[in-house]
């Protein structure tokens, strides 16, 4: 058996460069995530956050570099990876039900020619229950609210029963209740030893939700435990002039902000 | 000619069977094209088939249906590939790519067509019928080719059903699961090209796009599941095809292809108008109904607030006062409230200028008004 490359890392990205029409979108990315953490990828618009996830999953071709998950390339580890694309990436007027969308998460395991049966429907139903959407199983997906659609997408990834989850902006455009529900589910996954990697857009909540952080702006600005990485200097490096737009309070440690105790990490 | 003779007529049989096959394959494949926002792809593929038709003819030297259809398939596929290459490697958007490919190939086809007509080759007779189709020229042997293509396409769709569904709904997720998305998309495109080939003889390159798009669009209005949509699109395609073919056989002399397209299109119009939840008429009725409900709820809460302002739950609000407050006649809304027992009417006292009467809330009316105001308050929070 060939020697594994960095087998102790849930995700190991080395020298990754992605370009679009010869303009670099990601430049020389080295990025490691240990297993069992909830990691955020944060950076300004156009920093390449989504591209990084898509490139790891092989959806966007890289011009250089390599990616391994638990020591093996992605194509050998598909069964261990769950993916939640941006909600806006699909047309929700597609004629199908919530339960059917969740069942799609099992198509990889089913393989060619086999159709989803009773067992698959039961698993999909259980995933819907985990996100609190069991009552909407037969609902046409265009009739779901944005937050409900996001939960359906999350359930589709949960049904994959993966070890590493990639989520692209799961909290974008959802109401506060849904955001809380999504964070609870992700924390539960982490507590079960899974690795959760999230493209996140809201600096205010980074420290309350996550324990690992990658600050990205085409290059890697900083990465590591949130407490070490989330500093005024690093944020200024990542966001440049835009940092002026951030509230001062975002830079204070959580204890000094007037935030309800329940919102902090356990 | 009796109905029986008529149904035994060889030409009519051929045309009806051909139209049914065409409706079947284009309804099924058109559903995927429409859902993947590639309605125009069918248009491009069919127009791009024309140079292939001509080249197939030039190579065979005669009107050989096999080589003509093969030529159509090849040039359609070439156009699709060119379109993909254009949009992938330049800043051209898909619609512009489709438009350019469509007109370039069609222009080339027309040039070749006039060239062939100029050579005075006796065998070229009827080649221009591929522009608008010539259903009556359909032979039994053509039907075997069309039938074979249709069966093959339907077989592939049912074998790869879940893969095609996922690729149409969420291609990047499909890719993350390891599905060969590009190959599945190429396969769908090639099958649409095959459907176009099936339709060339019947409806021609110009109208073929409607055959791909129309049944799918109509079926989407009625069905909220992919399974239902595809089956219904196939049924609409077959029904429209057969109806159009019979109509043209009855009328003697009216072109079959356009009649088929018109039959299918009329199903689209009916579907756009009347389909539950998605149709225009349904939408208008829904709007009307909710507007009327809103009006009558507003009038009820106005009465409630007037009574509250006067600290008198038996306060008599004059009709004129309510009309003025709403800036329009509220008679209909008040009559409706009266029917439901939320208000009672009192005759206007002689000193009042408006003789229409005065309205007083009943206990049930007060209860209902409070319920409405409560629910409004909750929504505002």
Residue A133 lies in a domain: no
Whether domain B3-258 has CATH 1.10.3470.10: yes
Q: What is the pLDDT of residues B327-345, one digit of tens each?
A: 778 888 888 888 888 888 8
CATH number of the domain to which A67 belongs: 3.40.50.300
Counting beta carbons within 10 angstroms of the beta carbon of residue B27, is it exposed (0 to 12), middle (13 to 18) or buried (19 or more)?
A: buried
- Using DSSP's 3-state secondary structure scheme, residue A196 falls into strand
Residue A143 lies in a domain: no
Report which of B300, B285, B277 is spatially closest to residue B376, judged by C-alpha positions.
Answer: B300
Residue A130 lies in a domain: no
Contact (Cβ atoms closer than 8 angstroms) between residue B302 and residue B325: yes
- Look up the CATH number of domain B282-380: 1.10.10.10
How many domains does one find in chain A?
Answer: 1
Q: What is the pLDDT of residues B274-295, one digit of tens each?
A: 888 888 888 888 888 888 888 8
Contact (Cβ atoms closer than 8 angstroms) between residue A165 and residue A197: yes
Region A163-189: mean pLDDT is 89
Query: DSSP states of B104-138 as a string?
Result: HHHHHHHHHHHHHHHTT-GGGTTTTHHHH--GGG-
Residue A12's H or E segment, with its range, is: strand A11-20
Kindly report, as residue ranges, where domains of CATH 1.10.10.10 are found in chain B. Answer: 282-380
Q: What is the pLDDT of residues B18-41, one digit of tens each?
A: 899 999 999 999 999 999 888 888
Contact (Cβ atoms closer than 8 angstroms) between residue B68 and residue B60: yes
pLDDT recorded at residue B320? 81
Tokens, residue B238: 């077959």
Residue B159's H or E segment, with its range, is: helix B140-159
Kindly report, as residue ranges, where domains of CATH 1.10.3470.10 are found in chain B. Answer: 3-258
**How many contacts, defined by CB atoms under 8 Å, are there between A and B?**
71
Taking any CB pair shorter than 8 Å as contact, residues of chain B touching chain A are: 35, 37, 159-163, 165-166, 168-170, 172-179, 220, 223-226, 228-229
Contact (Cβ atoms closer than 8 angstroms) between residue B92 and residue B86: yes
Name, of A170-184, B150-164, B296-310, the range with top average pLDDT. B150-164
ipTM score for this prediction: 0.86
Residue A152 lies in a domain: no
Residue B270 pLDDT class (50, 70, 90 cuts): very high
Question: Which tops the pLDDT comparison, B306 or B168?
Answer: B168
In the β-sheet with A64-68, what is the strand arrangement from edge to edge? A23-33, A11-20, A64-68
Counting beta carbons within 10 angstroms of the beta carbon of residue A193, is it exposed (0 to 12), middle (13 to 18) or buried (19 or more)?
A: exposed
Residue A54 — φ and ψ, nearest 5°?
-65, -35
Q: Do B179 and A107 make contact, defined as CB atoms within 8 angstroms?
A: yes
Domain that includes residue A188, residue range: 11-88+162-261
What is the rounded distance in angstroms from the CA atom of residue B183 to the CA atom of residue B189?
10
Quote the mean pLDDT of chain B.
85
Residue A95 lies in a domain: no
Provide the shortest C-alpha distance from residue B75 to chain A (in Å). 29
With a cut of 50, say whether residue B380 has pLDDT above it.
no
Residue B319's H or E segment, with its range, is: helix B319-326
Residue A176 lies in a domain: yes
Q: Do A83 and B163 make contact, defined as CB atoms within 8 angstroms?
A: no
Q: What is the pLDDT of residues B188-228, one digit of tens each?
A: 988 888 888 888 888 888 888 889 999 999 999 999 899 99
Residue A5 lies in a domain: no
Check CB contact of A140 with chain B, cutoff 8 Å: yes
Share of chain B above pLDDT 90, in %: 26
Query: In which residue are the tokens 């590639």 written?
Result: B38
Quote the mean pLDDT of chain A.
84
Provide the shortest C-alpha distance from residue A185 to chain B (in Å). 21
Q: What is the pLDDT of residues A59-79, one digit of tens each?
A: 888 888 888 888 888 888 888
With a cut of 90, say whether residue A24 has pLDDT above it.
no
Residue A83 — φ and ψ, nearest 5°?
-135, 130
pLDDT recorded at residue A258? 45
Q: Under 8 Å CB-to-CB from B291, ≥6 apart: which residues?
A: none
What is the rounded distance in angstroms from the CA atom of residue B332 to the CA atom of residue B343?
13
pLDDT recorded at residue A263? 39
Residue B122 pLDDT class (50, 70, 90 cuts): low
Chain A residues lying within 8 Å of B168, measured CB to CB: 94
Residue A105 lies in a domain: no
Residue B152 pLDDT class (50, 70, 90 cuts): very high
Region B72-79: mean pLDDT is 89
Max CA separation in chain A (angstroms): 58
């Amino acid at each position: 058996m060939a020697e594994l490359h960095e087998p102790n890392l849930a995700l190991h990205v080395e020298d990754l460069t992605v370009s679009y029409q010869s303009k670099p979108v990601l430049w020389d990315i080295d990025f490691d995530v240990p297993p069992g953490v909830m990691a955020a990828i944060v950076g300004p618009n156009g920093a390449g956050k989504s591209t990084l996830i898509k490139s790891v999953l092989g959806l966007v071709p890289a011009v250089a570099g390599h990616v391994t998950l638990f020591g093996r390339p992605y194509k050998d580890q598909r069964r261990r990876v769950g993916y939640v694309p941006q909600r806006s990436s699909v047309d929700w007027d597609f004629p199908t039900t919530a339960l059917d969308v969740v069942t799609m998460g099992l198509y990889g395991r089913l393989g060619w020619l086999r159709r989803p049966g009773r067992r698959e429907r039961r698993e999909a139903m259980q995933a819907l229950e985990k996100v609190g959407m069991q009552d909407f199983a037969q609902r046409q997906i265009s009739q779901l609210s944005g937050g409900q659609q996001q939960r359906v997408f999350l359930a589709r990834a949960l049904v994959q029963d993966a070890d590493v989850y990639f989520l692209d902006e799961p909290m974008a455009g959802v109401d506060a209740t849904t955001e809380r529900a999504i964070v609870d589910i992700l924390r539960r996954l982490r507590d079960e030893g899974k690795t959760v990697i999230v493209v996140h857009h809201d600096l205010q909540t980074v420290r309350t939700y996550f324990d690992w952080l990658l600050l990205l702006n085409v290059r890697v600005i900083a990465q590591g435990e949130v407490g070490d990485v989330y500093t005024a200097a690093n944020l200024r490096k990542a966001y440049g002039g835009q940092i002026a737009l951030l509230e001062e309070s975002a830079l204070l440690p959580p204890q000094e902000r007037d935030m309800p105790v329940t919102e902090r990490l356990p | 000619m009796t109905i029986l003779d008529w149904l035994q007529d060889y030409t009519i049989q051929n045309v009806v069977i051909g139209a049914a096959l065409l409706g079947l394959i284009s309804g099924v494949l058109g559903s995927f094209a429409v859902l993947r926002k590639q309605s125009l792809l069918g248009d491009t593929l069919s127009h791009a088939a024309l140079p292939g038709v001509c080249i197939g003819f030039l190579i065979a030297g005669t009107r050989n249906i096999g080589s003509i259809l093969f030529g159509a398939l090849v040039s359609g596929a070439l156009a699709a590939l060119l379109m993909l290459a254009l949009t992938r490697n330049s800043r051209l958007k898909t619609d512009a790519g489709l438009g350019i490919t469509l007109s370039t190939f069609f222009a080339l086809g027309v040039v070749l067509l006039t060239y062939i007509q100029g050579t005075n080759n006796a065998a070229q007779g009827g080649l221009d019928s591929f522009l608008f189709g010539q259903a009556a020229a359909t032979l039994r042997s053509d039907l075997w080719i069309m039938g074979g293509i249709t069966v093959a396409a339907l077989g592939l769709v049912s074998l790869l059903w879940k893969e095609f569904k996922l690729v149409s709904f969420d291609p990047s997720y499909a890719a993350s699961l390891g599905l060969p998305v590009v190959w599945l998309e190429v396969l769908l495109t090639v099958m649409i090209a095959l459907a176009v080939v099936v339709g060339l003889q019947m409806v021609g390159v110009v109208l073929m796009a409607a055959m791909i798009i129309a049944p799918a669009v109509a079926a989407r209005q009625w069905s909220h599941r992919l399974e239902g949509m595809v089956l219904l699109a196939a049924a609409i395609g077959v029904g429209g095809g057969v109806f159009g073919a019979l109509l043209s056989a009855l009328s003697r002399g009216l072109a079959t292809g356009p009649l088929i397209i018109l039959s299918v299109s009329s199903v689209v119009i009916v579907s756009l108008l009347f389909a539950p939840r998605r149709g225009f008429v349904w939408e208008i009725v829904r709007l009307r109904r909710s507007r009327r409900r809103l009006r009558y709820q507003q009038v009820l809460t106005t009465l409630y607030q007037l009574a509250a302002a006067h600290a008198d739950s038996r306060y008599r609000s004059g009709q004129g006062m309510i009309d003025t407050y709403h800036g329009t006649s509220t008679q209909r809304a008040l009559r409706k409230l009266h029917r439901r027992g939320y208000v009672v009417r009192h005759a206007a006292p002689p000193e009042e200028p408006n003789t229409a009467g005065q309205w007083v809330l009943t206990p049930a009316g007060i209860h209902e008004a409070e319920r409405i105001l409560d629910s409004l308050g909750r929504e505002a929070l």
